[in-house]
Structure formats: structure tokens, C-alpha cells
Amino acid sequence: MPSAAMARGDQRKIDMDLYSRQIGTFGIEMMGKLVQMKVLISGLRGAGAEAAKNLILAGPQAVVLHDDAKVEARDLGANFCLSDADVGRRTRAEASLAHLAQLNPYVAVSVHQGPLTEELVASCSVAVVFDATQADLLRWNEFCRARTPAVGFIAADSWGLAGRVFVDFGDSFMCYDKDGEEAKSAIVAGITQEDPGTVYTHNDRRHGFQDGDWVTFRELQGMTELNGAAPMQIKVTGPYSFTIGDTTKLSTYVREGVVSQAKVPQTLTFAPYRSCCSNPCAAEGAELVVPDLSKFGRPEQLHIASQAILQYREKHGSLPQPNDETAVTACVRLAKDFNRARHAEGDRSLSVEAVDEDVVRKVALFATCAICPMTAFLGGVIAQEVVKFTGKYTPLRQFLYLDMFELLPSPAPSIADRRLTGGRYDDQVAIFGADFQRRLGELKLFLVGAGALGCEYLKCFAMLGACCGPGGKVVVTDMDRIEVSNLNRQFLFRQRDVGHSKSTTAAEAVRRMNSALKVEALEQRVGPETEDGPFDDLFWSGLDCVVNALDNVQARMYVDSRCVWFCKPLLESGTLGTKANAQVVLPHLTQSYGDSQDPPEESIPLCTLKHFPNAIEHTIEWSRDLFEQLFAEGPKEVNSFLDDPGALLQKVKAEGSATSQLSRLGAIKRALLEREGDAPFDACVRWALLEFREKFHDSIAQLLHTFPLDHRTSEGEIFWSGPKRPPAPIVFDVGEELHLDFLEAGANLYAASLGVPPSRDRARLKRLAAALDIGGSFKPKAMKIKIDDKDTTQEGADDDDQLADKLSDELAAIGNRLCAGGSSSSTAAATKLTPATFEKDDDTNFHIAFVAAAANLRARNYKIPEADFHKVKMIAGKIIPAIATTTAMVTGLVSAELIKVASLNTRKVEDFKNAFVNLALPLWVMSEPLPPMKTTSKDYDPVIMGPIIARPEGFTTWDKIDVDIGDATIQQLVQYLAKKHQVEVSIISQGSLCLYNAYSTASKKRLSGKVTQVWEEISKQTLSPNRTYLTLEVSATDLEEGAEVALPAIGTATAQWALAPTAELLAPMKAMTPNPARDRPEADAHGCVLGGLKPRPINED
């Protein structure tokens, strides 16, 4: 159970700027518990240092480090905190302290020297032990369980290519939130009176509930006994229905209501380590996780192997040494003995039909080794298990076993190749051999992004020795500057680095980890605008692999397209809170990233935002738009008016409806007039009061005037029902804090646009608001309002046209007076407004404060539960929840794939692993990458409404047509495709540019022009000398049948490369990447190059 301080919810001050992304995942309540925790980490070889890093970034109260072993040279390949100067001189704990303590100033990091003591362990919330003996595991687990409350106990081992984690949180651990997901809600459409009662939800969207969820009800009319009742467990019967308990004795349901998920605490029972040695599923509900879908039964075999390894250690005093065949044989014998004994115990113990000797062998051979992919993975998993002791998320029940045996080279390296030299890479040499280590060092990598993922990848490259050889190099690029919120996850940065370049700072930091790393830091964006340099064709051609560390789909898609064109492996990954994914993209072997995309985010209908919100997300989005309208677009329009009143008025009249014009012109007039007077901030308060009345009273009153509460639709249904929640106007009340929040934020933002000094004096604000008379009262109009996005009604009042014309005349007169007062430009300069640029990470600038106040006021209008400041910040700022644990874990998995890519020419696609992970559950799903999607012929294609021929049959995005006629004219290209591919070309395009259209008379005049010249003419750009090819798309029909023909992308050489010697062109393209596709035929019967684009000299015929 959590400590007494955690249970009381004692709060230390939480740095909201530092932890903002983490709070987006954990929530403020969990953070309040986390900052009370004291954690012991014993064992800092590799995984221990990783776990300590991730945990310290998360922000517990204290972390105690323990490892009295002296630093060895091989430790430098696993523990990023260590340096050559530490070898043989300091303990691992002492050497790690300085680096780890710098990660988070709010965490007290200390070292315990000497053996662990009961006093120390008892003082901790959680004890984590790495690479401990069996005797120590048994002793400290029993001690932790005996405490009141129990001390959480986590054990882990990293044995080369195998790893394990064990978790024990005691006999009775309370989990308050099993998955950390935002509670879902749905609108009730009906409830039956039966046993069990069926609840129907509105069909505007699926309810999203699952079997076993608990729900509560509110706002039901009829069957009101359910309103506010205790949570009820449900059984899902469909996407819009589920059953609850017996409703036969309840009153009849009439209408309305909201059903919401409830987070019901669960008591979880853990079994002691001693019991779990015999039966890893001893605790009720426990199960052995199968992370890799191709390895069913593997966790059981690894459990038996681990017990054999630990028994060997107890007997011999140390783990089996690398590649010690005698020790391996002994471990296999111990594994068989252990399995035999468990089999004799019957069902209460775990046994297998036959021990897999190969599994035991691979664990024993490398039991003393620690490599970065495994240590990074384990460090992320374990740190996340530690934070689960707060009661949020489902802890591991109780063992996790993972192996990376597919990393082993085939054939196995010789004994001589695996001879150890006492260097930092000894553990890797013991597994992969020295020759492979040299190949890692020669890799040429491109890392796109130097944020959280990028920092972890750079660390992994340094630990692995990738890009550390004479010919190796990693280029990292990132345009961003370091912000305070980055320091919580991007562990290479410190407070002193805020404002500096991410890529440059990260490169400098990682060089200190391994001075041999060849890293070049750039700050350019990767996109079409940098294709002429630095990321030109020769740059991409010279790479061995690309590693993405990006945070947006658009950039990922672009990098993927470059990798597809140049046939380069791509390692893709991403995180979202506790979730992560990894994808391996291999030329001609797997799908590219662009072959499969997530469905687009569900957008909020405009009418829902404007008039009929029913969720807090709707009001936050509305408020974010209001911010832009009032403080960004509004001031810009005022400035345009001041620059040229007539032009702006003419522009407004030409755009939108009369109602829209009236709103825009009214805002301009108000902005011009409200700044007058001797007390400018008073005018800002008056402006904010007018906005309050308009947005939260008058517009709502008008909506209710148009659609009264008893209004019925043309079908006779009650209008205000289902997703349409009946609103209520709000009258400003100086005694309401939320009203003052809006007033303060609005007035100060408006003051900032005017250049008026801000005021944070709430007492003064209250006095001003109470004294101001904004005059007037609401007068309803006969207005038309759209009821949904399908409604074609023209919104507005009948007299909006006349009012807009009148207001336009008034503004024209104001504009004439301004111009008459002097030169137009000088007058404009004196009265210009400063538009705001929304900044989510500065809580002092009133941006989020305004959005939060406006969103919650609108929520009150519609009786929607309000949101706290941080939730508004996350949604309005589109902040991606992020935590260090997930990031470290997934980079460990991807680093394993990099090792495979380095030996791609000896690999099968089955060796590679895509992954989806959710550490909250916890869940790991690893599987073989899917093959490329093929384009095939169809008798009927629904898009073109006719047959379509794929040429060549079954081509993929990796395939290209190499036009080997040099810098050809369009006529030559058309003839070439007709001859080689039997097609009649209709359209030739390059991106969004149409170079040739057979149906256009004007386009036919381009036939004699060279493709490159036509491109330059249409794009109004000059081809860079570094551009070797133009990528073309062609629409064509079959010469004989006349059916549409689908062709791969076409590459045609540019003028500057058309006459280049063959060897010069082929060198960069053949490249560094081991490519199984090279052994395939160069071209099919139609001349389609399947192995990648190969530039050729011009065909002089």
C-alpha cells in the first residue's frame, strides 16, 4: 500500500511548467502522491541506471542509489553516467550520482554505501533490486511484505539478450485507476424496465464502454433513482447499448440523461517471490505475459532458465561467464532438474513438457552481459512499475520475461571474433563479435528529431558504439529550442540549456558519454524546402538507415516518402502517454509508414461548437477559437483598417454573411472607441464586461428566444434533447470568482493588444466591475440559426444587411477622421494593436487563463461538468501527454531493430519486430512487420468506375520506373512509356504541378520541351544542381484495351546528371545499406526497376 503521507495526499509544491506533459498523463492527483515517494535502487550496471534516470525525471521525493561494485570498462557500454575516468576508481553508485542528481532539482538523490540495511529499506516506499542473488531476493521480498504498510518490491535482471521483471506490492494493494484513460460519457436515449435493464445511448456516436466497466448516471428524467446512485457494472450488448442490474422496480424512464464511466478501486493480491519461483502465476489473477506473438510458451521456458541461472550463481558464487560452455551445460542440467521437481509438485507449480535447451543456453551464454536495447527497455518498464505504487494504472502481475534472441548473428561468430579485450564494448563483442562491432561503428545514420525520443536514441548510439568508427556518422536535426517543459523527459538537457538549440545541445551531451561518437548537429527542417540542401539526393543516398524521433504525422510521412524513394530502412516510433509503438520499414520487405495510417481525428461539428455543445471538449475548442478571434484576428483586422479603412471595409463586405460582417465590423468599432479616455485599463475592463455579456448572456438568451425550452421539431420531437443540451444565460456577478477570472484575463489580454500596462489587482478589478455601467439590455431578434451542419439555413437576423451597411458607413467616417488628422501611416502607427500569438506554456500571460474561464463559463451555460486549469491547458494547447518511462522503453525496442538493420543482408523479415505497448495495463504486442501493399489489376475499380490494370502486376510503393533516356523532352518520355510499357499517357504531374495533359491544347505545346525545363517554367523555380531526379506520376491507358493503367512512380534524370558517368551516379545510390532486393532481377518484362532507382547516363540514341 502507499505510504501514510501518500494516503493523506500530502502535497509538496509541484512545478507545473516542468511536469506539464507528465501531468497530462499521470494527472495532478497521482503527481501529488508521487512527489511523496522515496525509492531505493540497488544495482546500477545498466538497467538500474536507466530506471533511476526515468524515475528521477518523474519526480519522487527521493531516490537512494546503491551499488558498491567498482566501475569496469565494460560498464561504459551499459551505464550512460560513467566515464573512462571512473574505471577502477569509483563505485558505480558514486560515479552515477552526479549525473543522475542533475536530472531533477526537486528530487533528493543520494548514495547508500555498504550492504543494504533493514532500516534503509523500511524507510522507502518501493525497493528496486537489480541483478541480485536468489538469497537476497528471497530475503528482501519477505522483509518488504512484512512492513505495515508494505514496501513495494521490484526485482529485475538483464542477462544479455534476455531480461525479466518481478513485481510484488503486497497482499492487499489498492488500484484506483486500472488504465488511466479519460472516463467516457454517453447521452442516454432509453432504459428498459427489465432484469437486466438495457440502456440505449444516442446514436450520434458509440458509447465506447467495455464489458466489466462501471458507470454512473446523472440528469435522467424518469428512473431518477439511478441519478447519483453507486456505480453499476455493465455488460456491453452493442455499440449503442449495454445492460445494468434489475430495473423492474424503478420508475419509468422518460427522457434525457448522461451515463459516465466510473473509476472503481480494485484490491489486487500479490504472491511472494518464494511462491512465484515455483509458480509465477501463484497470485489470483496473475498471468505470464507473452510480449512477442511469435513466442508462445517462451515466458515459461525463460522462467525455468532464470531459476537455473540463479541456482548456478548460488552454487558457484557468480553468473556463468560469457561463452563458457561448461557453465552452459551445468545450467541446462539445473533447468531440467528444476522442471522435474516442479512437475512432481503437480498443478500448484509450473512445469513444461520439455525444457528448451536452446533457450537456457542463450540465457547462460551471455548472463553477465548488459546491452543498451535490453537495459533501456527494462529501465522504462521498471520505472513505470514504481510510479504505479501510487495506485494509478495496473501493476505487472507479477513476472515479465522478454528475450531478443533474434539479434544473434547467423552464422555465429568465431571464438577468436568474440575474444574480449577489456574495452567498453566487451559485452557486445561477447554476443555479436568484434567484426560486427566494427560494422556498427561504420553506420551512417540520420536521426530526425532531438526531443525526448531523439535524446534516448543518441544515448543508445553512444552506448552501442554505433557511428563511432572512422567512417561512421550520425546526423541529427531539430529546429526547436529547449523549453522548461522539455527537461522532464529530454534527459540530455539541463536548466542552463533552456533557449538553446536541441540538436546542438544533445550532440554535445552525448559526445561526453562516448567521445568516439561522430555526430553532426543541424537545425534545418526536413521537408521539400531543404531538398536542395542539406538534405539533397546525395545526402539521402549515402545513408544506411533513418531513425525518426518526430511528433507529427506530416513530418513522418515526408521522411517515409524519402526513405521509400531512396530505398533506405526507416525505424519509426512514437509515444502518447503510457502508449508507444515501433515500426520497422525495410525496402521491398515491409510496408512503409505511409502504407497504413491512423484514421483522422474525429472533428467537432461546427454547429455543435457554435450553438449545441454537450462536452467540455466542445467548450474548450470554442474558447480557443474565441481567443484567436478576439486577440489575434481581431487586432489584425483593426490594423488593416488603420492602414487602409476603405480597402478593409470593401474586403469585409465581400466576405461571409451579413451576420458575420456585422460581428467583424462591430469588433473593429469597439476596439477603436473603447480605448478612448483617461483611464485606459478601465476601458479594457469595460470591453471585457461587454464581451462577457455578449458571449454568456445575450447570445444564449437569443438562442433560447429562437428555440424556447418547449420547442418541438417538425417531427414533433422535443428540440432540446439528446446531444442538444438546453442552455441558461449567465448574468455577471462580481462575487463569482469564475466571472472575475474571465474579466481579469480578458481585460489584460485586451490591454496587451493596446499596449496598456497589465493589472493583477483583483480587488481593484472588482471595484471597477461593480462601478461600471455598460448600459443597455438584451433585446431578442427574429433570427435564423442552423440546427446541424446539414442545415442549409442562412443564419442571421432579417435586418443584419441594413445594420452592417450602417456600421460600415460609421467606420468609413471614423476612417476619414483618422486620415484627416495627419498622414494615414503615422496615425496608424500611433494606434496599431498588437495581435497575440497563443502561447500555452506561459501561465502568466493570461492565454490559458482566458480559455479556461471562457470554457468553464460556457460549460455552466450548458450545465456541462467544468474542467480544471491543467486539463484546459492540455486540450487547448494540443499538448501531447508524454513521460520518460514510455520513451526509454520504446527506444530500447527500436535500438534492437537497429542492430538487425546493421546486418540486414543476413536477415529474414521474420527477425524484425513491430511493437505496440501500453505500460498502463501493462500490455506488449510484438509482431512481424507486414509485407508491402501490392497494387493489383481489377475488373472494376470503384474510383474510376471501370477496369484497371496494374503494370507490373503487384507492384508496391518501393518499386519505381527508371526512365533511362536522360534529360528527355515530354514527347520522348511519352514515346518511351508507350514503347516500354504499352501505355498511352494522358497526364504527367510532379506533386501538385501538371506538366502535361493530353486533353489540353495549351499543354500539347509543351511536348517539345524538356521535362526539367517545363517543370522550371511551371513551378517558377530553378532545379538545384544537387537534384538528381524528378519524381513523376503518370495517368495512362493501355494501348490495346484502352483500360486505365496504374504505374509505379517514375524517375527521370535532371539535366546536370543526365551526362554524368555511370559510376559517379551509381556510387551514392548503391550505397551503404545492406539490401536484399539487390539480388532480385533489375527489371521486369516491362522495364520496371524493382530493386530501387539506379541513375544512368543519357541514351545517345
Amino acid at 665: L
Three-point CA angle 267, 272, 274, nearest 5°: 160
Choose, from 607, 684, 819, 1088, the residue flagged as catalytic.
Answer: 607
Rounded Cα distance between 892 and 894, Å, is 6
Rounded Cα distance between 732 and 963, Å, is 72
Rounded Cα distance between 102 and 902, Å, is 34
Q: Are 972 and 966 in contact (CB under 8 A)?
A: no
* Best CA proximity match to 457, nearest among 569, 524, 373, 374: 373
Rounded Cα distance between 916 and 85, Å, is 39
> Is-cis flag, bond preceding 398, omega within 30?
yes
Rounded Cα distance between 863 and 174, Å, is 33
DSSP-assigned states of every residue in 24-73:
HHH-HHHHHHHTT-EEEEE--SSHHHHHHHHHHHH--SEEEEE--SBP-G
Rounded Cα distance between 799 and 807, Å, is 12
Burial 241-273 (b: 16+ CB within 10 A, else e): bbbbeebeebeebeebbbbbbebbeeebebbbb
Instruction: Kindly give, in sequence order, each residue whose CB lies less than 8 Å from that of residue 886, ignoring residues fewer than 6 positions away.
Output: 380, 384, 575, 577, 578, 579, 580, 917, 919
- How far is the CA of 198 from the CAs of 190, 574, 979, in angstroms? 8, 40, 67
Q: Give the largest Cα separation in the chain, rounded.
A: 104
Query: Which residue stretches of 694-799 are H helix?
Result: 699-706, 737-754, 762-771
- The x, y and z cell numbers of residue 191, run together, are 432504459
Q: Give the distance, in angstroms, between the CA of residue 481 and the centroid of all CA atoms in the same chain.
A: 19
Burial 656-675 (b: 16+ CB within 10 A, else e): eebbebbbbbebbbbbbebb
Q: What is the distance between the terminal CA atoms of the chain, rounded to a whole angstrom?
A: 82
- The x, y and z cell numbers of residue 35, run together, are 512527489
Instruction: Kindly give, in sequence order, each residue whose CB lies less than 8 Å from that of residue 488, ignoring residues fewer than 6 positions away.
Output: 18, 19, 20, 21, 22, 57, 59, 104, 884
* Best CA proximity match to 37, nearest among 104, 119, 127: 127
Please give the sequence-ordered ranges of beta strands (E in DSSP) within 466-518, or none if there are none. Answer: 473-477
Q: Are 361 and 319 in contact (CB under 8 A)?
A: no
Rounded Cα distance between 563 and 932, Å, is 14
Rounded Cα distance between 145 and 168, Å, is 8
Amino acid at 276: C
- How far is the CA of 1073 from the CAs of 538, 572, 843, 929, 1070, in angstroms? 14, 17, 48, 19, 8
Q: Active site includes 1088?
A: no
Burial 351-383 (b: 16+ CB within 10 A, else e): beeebbbebbbbbbbbbbbbbbbbbbbbbbbbb
Q: Are 887 and 383 in contact (CB under 8 A)?
A: no
| Strand duo 253-255 + 152-159: pairing | unpaired
- Cβ–Cβ contacts within 10 Å for residue 808, how many? 18
Question: 346: which DSSP letter?
Answer: G
Q: Are 321 and 328 in contact (CB under 8 A)?
A: no
- How far is the CA of 442 from the CAs of 438, 523, 907, in angstroms? 6, 24, 19
Supply the residues annotated as catalytic.
Answer: 607
